[in-house]
Chains A and B, each alone.
Chain A
Amino acid sequence: MKERLSVRFEVPDFLGSAPFPPMMLQTLIENAIKHGLEPKIAGGAIVVRGYVVGSTLHVDVCDNGVGIDLHAGDGIGLANIRERLALLYGADAELVIETPPGGGACASIRIPYKMMEES
């Protein structure tokens, strides 16, 4: 798989220290590889993007794989993330899954973002 996979991070420096719940990114990247890219002969790319919209931190994991099989279960991975987000942030966080017009799949975790947390 390694030679068929490229991963790119687009996260601005100032977000490097922003708090983010552990293990969620792992799950999303694993999903992108397992369901999106592994079935694809040519392999593909994963892009991880971090950015702030208003007071919300978005962390997106997008792949250009085969997309989402409408009949394949959610597995425990995504359900787990949703549950943990609800526990940590209540209704202020969400996990949004989208399939862009160009194909592939995008999973986006959105959590509250406070600027200048330390000071």
Chain B
Amino acid sequence: MPALDRPATALIADDEEPMRDQLRARLATVWPELVIVAEAAHGVDAVALAGRHKPDIAFLDIRMPGMGGIEAARHLYDRCHIVFATAYDRYALDAFEQGAIDYLLKPVTADRLATTCERLRRRLAQTPQDIGTQLARLNALLQGDAPRRNYLRWIQAQVGGGLRMVNTREVLFFQSDDKYTRVQTATAELLIRKTLKELADELDPDEFWRIHRSTLVRVDAIAQVTRDLRGRQMLKVRNYPQELEVSRNHAHLFHQM
């Protein structure tokens, strides 16, 4: 991008109209020559409008419906300078500090905006930096608090015409019946077609333990394990009368201290 002999142009993307208005107003004060060529309410629009208007700068809100700011930036960073606007707290902001990525904390103060604009003015003479790697890392940081989030958290059971959604926190245990798997909660018993094997693969292994070929029990729901007269380990579930047998193969889970 050669040094500009025309006023710089910018796009503003934020799903909240008052936020766009505020940023536009503040920009008009700290950088009166800057021309706002387009405004978008989500990432898809931002990318399309940036294609049409070719702004020098894109102010992108991180959290927008459909396509967020980071995803939009991945489409745009080789064509314009990116500044993120975010309402994330201090902790998450550390993620931004590490890279060449510029950001504004919402609500945007005039002081902070002036600093950012000053930096942008200097950068406008240069080609936008390649921030692809930083964006990917930032995305991963903001997305995932943990790998745990990919475990199955909701069980779907057909009830009447609709689908009943049972959160795994409600489930006391799963037990395989002939054709179905029984889902037992404190208040309801539901049947689903997913097999115990499938459930065991998809559920968080720290949340549910296999105690028998036909039983998966929620660890938090276990009240106690005792031995019956025949020496079998029997598991008692909190708030539920039925005891569950622990098979010999899984007895190691409950070895005495």
Contact = CB atoms under 8 A, between A and B. Distances in A.
A54 B170 CA distance: 25
B65 interface: yes
Contact of B161 (A43, A101, A106): A101
Nearest to A38: B65
Interface in A89-119: 91, 94, 96-101, 105-106
Interface in A66-99: 68-74, 78-79, 82, 86, 91, 94, 96-99
A97 to B, nearest CB: 4
Contacts, number: 70
A74 B167 contact: yes
Interface residues of A, number: 30
A88 B75 CA distance: 52
Most chain A beta carbons < 10 A, residue from B154, B169, B188: B154
A41 B65 contact: yes
Interface string B158-180: 01011111111110000000000
Contact of A97 (B16, B65, B164): B164
B65 A78 contact: no
Given A38-B65, A41-B44, A100 B162 contact: yes
Given A4-B65, A94-B187, A98-B162, 14 more contacts: A39-B65, A41-B42, A41-B44, A41-B65, A43-B65, A71-B149, A71-B153, A74-B153, A86-B186, A91-B187, A96-B164, A98-B159, A100-B163, A101-B161
Interface of A: 1-4, 38-41, 43, 68-74, 78-79, 82, 86, 91, 94, 96-101, 105-106
24 contacts: A1-B15, A4-B15, A4-B65, A41-B66, A68-B165, A70-B153, A71-B149, A71-B153, A72-B154, A73-B149, A74-B153, A74-B154, A74-B168, A78-B167, A79-B167, A79-B169, A82-B170, A96-B164, A98-B162, A98-B163, A98-B164, A99-B162, A101-B161, A105-B165
